[in-house]
Amino acid sequence: MLSIPRGEFLMGLSPEKCQALIAEFTAPDPPTSPYLFYNEAPEHAVKVADFSISKYEVTNGEYKKFVDDGGYTRKEFWRELIEISELNIDLMGWNRITLFTDASGAAGPSTWSNGNFPEGKADHPVEGVSWFEAVAYCRWKRVRLPSEAEWEYAARGSDGRIFSWGNDPDVFYKWGTRQGGEATQAGSIVEDQSPFGVFDLGRNVSEWVADRWYLYPLAPVNPQPSNEGFGILRGGNYSSSILYMRTTYRKKIERLQRSSGIGFRCAK
């Protein structure tokens, strides 16, 4: 865990910056609407208290310890799964734990099989986990998921950088061939590092944060009702284009989603 000192920063983007990003990073014909990124607007000042965050994303090897310790059988780690009513599924309460199996039907991430991760990938980030699995692991570890504001501050600091490594998109091309459609060992892309020394915030796997989905106050998009069934992913993954590696990019997604390329890191 890395200690992040308290601070204040501008979170999100102004509508004008959304338009500028579209102009810089997309082809002019056909034009791309800046509305695509208005979920990141408006820019607003946020104060963050002292906290710590994982230097790396949680790996398969680390997550395996949780599985082997009976993590999927211990109800005390799964309070939200049992209690949240706004989930798009017929199962109720503890019966929902049956959703979280690997390719063989054993308890575990969707990308595993026979209760184990792919051979040789102990140091790769765990992927194919829902928000509920990420929360359960953190509770077992006696930590928590970072808040969305903590995640963005750890990624960009207070200088308003576009990417965790700075503002130069060409840095990405220095490692593009090293991540050809799959995750790499945590921290192995040394260029993908934030001003606080946090790795893999731009790519590798996208990461759950603690917050339910919400729009920023005065967001220039249609209002959306709050729903605990939806969470937020931050950061790009190994298949993302450069636009989705930005420090302000946020994605609305069902908390039950367990797709490849979805992982997490811890905070406290």
What's this model's pTM, rounded to 2 decimal places?
A: 0.95
Mean pLDDT of 80-100: 95
pLDDT at 173: 79
- Among 110, 78, 114, 109, smallest CA distance to 96 is for 78
pLDDT band at 40 (very low <50, low <70, confident <90, very high): very high
pLDDT of residue 177: 62
Given its phi and psi angles, is residue 22 left (phi above 0), alpha (psi -120 to 50 degrees) or beta? Answer: alpha
Question: What is the C-alpha to C-alpha distance for residues 199 and 201, in angstroms, rounded to an integer?
Answer: 6
Q: Which residue do the tokens 């603690």 mark?
A: 210
Exposure b/e, 137-170, CB count within 10 A at least 16 = b: bbbbbebbbbbbbbbbbbbbbeeebbbbbeeebe
Please name each of the domains of the chain with its CATH number: 54-268 (3.90.1580.10)
Distance of CA 246 to the CA centre of its chain: 12
Contact yes or no for 81/75 (Cβ under 8 A): no
218-232 per-residue burial string, b: 16 or more CB within 10 A, e: under 16: ebeeeeeeebebbbb
